[in-house]
Amino acid sequence: MTMARSSSSRPAVATVLLLAVSALCAALSSATVTVNEPIVNGLSWSFYDASCPSVEGIVRWHVADALRSDIGIAAGLIRIFFHDCFPQGCDASVLLSGSDSEQNLGPNETLRPEARKLIDDIRAAVHAACGPKVSCADIITLATRDAVVASGGPFFEVPLGRRDGLAPASRDLVFTLPGPDTDVPKLLGKFKNRSLDAVDLVALSGAHTVGRGHCGSFNSRLPPNADDGTMVPSFRRTLAAKCAKDPNAAQVLDVRTPNAFDNKYYFDLIAKQGLFKSDQGLMNDANTNRTATRYALNQAAFFDQFSRSMVKMSQMDVLTGNAGEVRFNCAVPNARRGDISSGQLGDEGLAADA
């Protein structure tokens, strides 16, 4: 009897295993997005195939290793990517140190030092393997993509060949970055000025599925300020108590799955648990509501558009060819290499509102 049961169960076990493998393959396939965005300004899908074929493997290894110790670095990398590209293009200018550094300005004061250091550590490893062939701007792009993947988000190819900028963005350009209290009409205007549309806005905002914000970035929505009805009362009370106890306290941006890159951020918005005014507004504004709702119901649709919007953003005003340079240190233009001091990396900034 026992042998008969064992023998007859083998096909069933095999079927279960086959179904499990099929489900796994489907899951992996759904997390890989093929993006056919047009390539501009001399970028290429195969830019380093000859000069540094190991670059993507080196970046991927370092990102995965860092995230094993601190998953928060994923949000830090995403924020660096956005804060680099949005003001004057993806040129690693946000990493430059000095008295005129972008990091000294309000929107960038909380960029994670650990994420900045990781980028330069990757630069050192890549340059050791290939020589000074790969720009810090390309490393930011690759590391951000790999952080998204390592957190559970989609894999997408990114075109490469960016050069590093020689100077930081101006104060005026840096302050074009959207803030946590920016309403949707102003967000749409800021994004339109950078050739990004409403769909890009909703998809890229989904990066807030990982990361955290500090009380100062959302206290305009808490008592004693008036309740505008856009935050569920129990959540508002919890946040108010937390910030009253510690005005510098951090709060995860996605209350459901704070360390996973998924579509639960949009569920938060439906439940009126978006942390920032800029987030919750996506669900309350007629220009963005349908798209945000769609991403809450369809993670594959969110992953697809997020990938497309990231590739689109990664090509903003890039420097290629003879423009810019490949920095020997991500914090310092090559002309200033003699000014490098041991304290220039990792000694600025607070934990990120990212």
Secondary structure of 143-204 in HEC code, one letter for each residue: HHHHHHHHCCCCECCCCECCEECCCCCCHHHHCCCCCCCCCHHHHHHHHHHCCCCHHHHHHH
Indicate the DSSP class of residue 352: -
- Return the percentage of the chain with pLDDT > 70, whole number: 85
Q: What does the pLDDT average to over 159-174?
A: 97
Q: What does the pLDDT average to over 297-318?
A: 97
Q: What is the pLDDT of residue 317?
A: 96
Q: What is the pLDDT of residue 309?
A: 98
Q: Do domains 55-177+314-337 and 184-312 have the same CATH topology?
A: no
Candidates 169, 176, 163; CA nearest to 41 is 163
The single-letter code of the amino acid at 226 is: A
pLDDT at 292 over 50: yes
> How many C-beta atoms lie closer than 10 Å to residue 14's C-beta?
10
Distance between CA atoms of residues 21 and 27, nearest Å: 10
Candidates 107, 110, 111; CA nearest to 172 is 107
Residue 184 or residue 2, greater confidence: 184
Domain ranges of the chain: 55-177+314-337, 184-312
47: confidence class by pLDDT, cuts 50, 70, 90: very high
Q: What does the pLDDT average to over 325-340?
A: 84
Mean model confidence pLDDT for the chain: 88
Candidates 253, 174, 246; CA nearest to 206 is 253
CA dist list (Å): 48 to 53, 228, 342: 6, 52, 30
Distance between CA atoms of residues 168 and 95, nearest Å: 8
Which residues does the annotation mark as catalytic?
83
From the options 2.40.30.10, 3.40.50.10710, 1.10.420.10, 1.20.120.1200, give the CATH code of 184-312: 1.10.420.10
Q: What is the pLDDT of residue 342?
A: 33
Q: What are the φ/ψ torsions at residue 285 (nearest 5 degrees)?
A: -95, 135
Q: In the chain, where does DSSP find H-type helix?
A: 2-30, 55-69, 72-88, 113-130, 136-150, 171-174, 184-193, 198-205, 233-245, 264-270, 277-284, 289-297, 299-313
Distance between CA atoms of residues 180 and 202, nearest Å: 14
> How many C-beta atoms lie closer than 10 Å to residue 242's C-beta?
15
Long-range contacts at 251-254 (CB < 8 A, ≥ 24 apart): 251/212, 251/213, 251/214, 251/215, 251/218, 251/275, 252/211, 252/212, 253/208, 253/209, 253/210, 253/211, 253/212, 253/213, 253/279, 254/208, 254/209, 254/210
Q: What is the pLDDT of residue 30?
A: 44
Indicate the DSSP class of residue 38: P
Distance between CA atoms of residues 244 and 238, nearest Å: 10
Residue-level length of the chain: 354
Distance between CA atoms of residues 171 and 156, nearest Å: 32
pTM of this prediction?
A: 0.86
pLDDT tens-digit profile of 109-135?
A: 999 999 999 999 999 999 999 999 999
pLDDT tens-digit profile of 247-270?
A: 999 999 999 999 999 999 999 999
Q: What does the pLDDT average to over 272-291?
A: 98
Indicate the DSSP class of residue 288: T
Distance between CA atoms of residues 156 and 311, nearest Å: 8
Q: What is the CATH number of domain 55-177+314-337?
A: 1.10.520.10
| Residue 264: exposure state from Cβ atoms within 10 A (0-12, 13-18, ≥19) | middle
Q: What does the pLDDT average to over 8-25?
A: 38
